[in-house]
A and B are shown apart, each in its own frame.
Chain A
Amino acid sequence: MHEFSIASEIVRNVLDVAEKNSARKILSIRLDIGELSLINVEQVAHWVQALFKGTMAEGAEVKIKTIKAAVQCQSCGYKGRNIPDSRDIVQHFAAFICPKCGSPGVKIEKGRECMLRKIQAER
C-alpha cells in the first residue's frame, strides 16, 4: 500500500506550500498521475482526504488527472501509445513492446508521473 506514503507526501507538501503562501483554507488540489504508474488513484484520494482532516485543507477536493502513456521505440523510432484505455495493469505489458517492430527497447516518455500540480486556496 504505497498509496499511503504517497498521500502523506502530498499532504506534507500541500500544507507547507499553502502556509508559505499565507493561505487560510484550501479548496482543492490537483494531481497528475501517469497511467503506467502503479498507483491506485482512488486510494490516494481517500488517504489524502483522511489526512486533510483537522487541517486547513479539510474537505478540499482532490482532482486527479490521468496522464496518458507515451513511449518511443529505441529501435525504429515509433512514437505513441500502445494500450487501450483501461485501468487494468495487465494492459501495461503491451505498452512495453513496440507495436511496429516488436522491439522491447521502448522508452517510457510519459505515463509514470506522480505529481502535485495545483493548489486552489483562500486567503
Chain B
Amino acid sequence: MKIIKSKGPEIFDIELEKDLLAKNRALAKENRKKLDRSKIIAIDIMGSIGSGKTSLIKALLKKLNMGEAIGVIAGDLTTTIDAERIEEEGARVIQVNTGKECHLDANLIHQAINGMRLDGVKILLIENVGNLICPGEFPLGAHKRVVVTSVTEGPYMIVKHPYIFKEADVIVLNKIDLAKAMKVNPYQLEKDARKINPHAPFIKVNALSGKGIPQVIHALGFIS
C-alpha cells in the first residue's frame, strides 16, 4: 500500500517596507511641480471647524483685490456653501467635496488643478476641510501652510494639536474681537505656539473687520 501524504499548505512571510503615506507625498510633489510650471503660489489653509477659514479667504480676496487672478479650491464634506460665499468676492472657485473624508488629499488637489482654468491665476488658496488632525498627515503640494484657530475654541488648541501648528508656516489666531468674552488670553496661545514653532508668524486677526489681514498678506509674501 502506498500512502500519499498531502503536502500541507506552505506558510510564508513576505517582509516589506511599504510607506502608506508615500503615495500622497509623491502626488503632492507632482502638484507642486505643476504649480511651479504655471507660476502659481498655492496656500493650504487648514484649521478647526468654524475657526474662520472661509472668512479669512474672503478677507484676503477683498484686500488683495485681484479678481480672477486668485483661484480658490473650497474643500468641504458635501456642501457648496463656502464656495458660493467665496465666489461673491470675484475669485475663480472650484468646489471639491470630500464626501466622508475629513481632509483634502494630494489626489483631490491634482484633479482640481487639472480641471480648473489656471490661465492668469497667480495665487491659489485652498480651504482644507475643518479639522486639526487629519490634514496634517496629507500634504497637498502647496507652497505654504496656514493654520487658522480662533479664540472661541478655548485656550488649549495649540497644546492639544501641536503637530499641525509645528508644521505651519503661518498661524492665524482669529476672532480676536471675542478674546475677552471667551476669557482666552491670546498671548498665552502665542507663547504656546512659539514653544513648538518659533519661525511661523503668529497673527491675531478679526476676519470680519479685516484687522490683521495686511499682516497675513505680508507673511504669505504677497503684496496688497
Contact = CB atoms under 8 A, between A and B. Distances in A.
Interface string A111-123: 0011111111111
Interface of B: 9-21, 23, 100-103, 105, 133-134, 136-138, 159-163, 166, 192, 194-198
From B9, B18, B101, name the one whose CB has the most chain A CB atoms within 10 angstroms.
B18
Contact of A38 (B11, B137, B196): B137
A55 interface: no
Given A2-B134, A117-B15, A121-B14, A96 B9 contact: no
B20 A116 contact: yes
Nearest to A40: B133
Contacts of A122: 9-12
B14 A118 contact: yes
Given A24-B9, A123-B12, A93 B196 contact: yes
Interface in A4-63: 4-6, 9-10, 13, 17-18, 21, 23-25, 27, 36-39
B13 A119 contact: yes
Given A92-B163, A97-B196, A122-B9, A117 B17 contact: yes
Given A38-B133, A93-B159, A114-B21, A5 B101 contact: yes
5 nearest A-B pairs in the assembled complex, by CB-CB distance: A116-B18, A2-B134, A93-B162, A122-B9, A119-B14
Chain B contact residues: over half helix, strand or loop, or mixed?
mixed
B46 to A, nearest CB: 13
A1 B20 contact: no
B10 A90 contact: no
Interface string A80-116: 0000000001101101110000001000000001111
Contacts of B10: 122-123
A104 B197 contact: yes
Nearest to A21: B14
A16 to B, nearest CB: 10
A1 B100 contact: yes
From B14, B15, B134, B137, name the one whose CB has the most chain A CB atoms within 10 angstroms.
B14
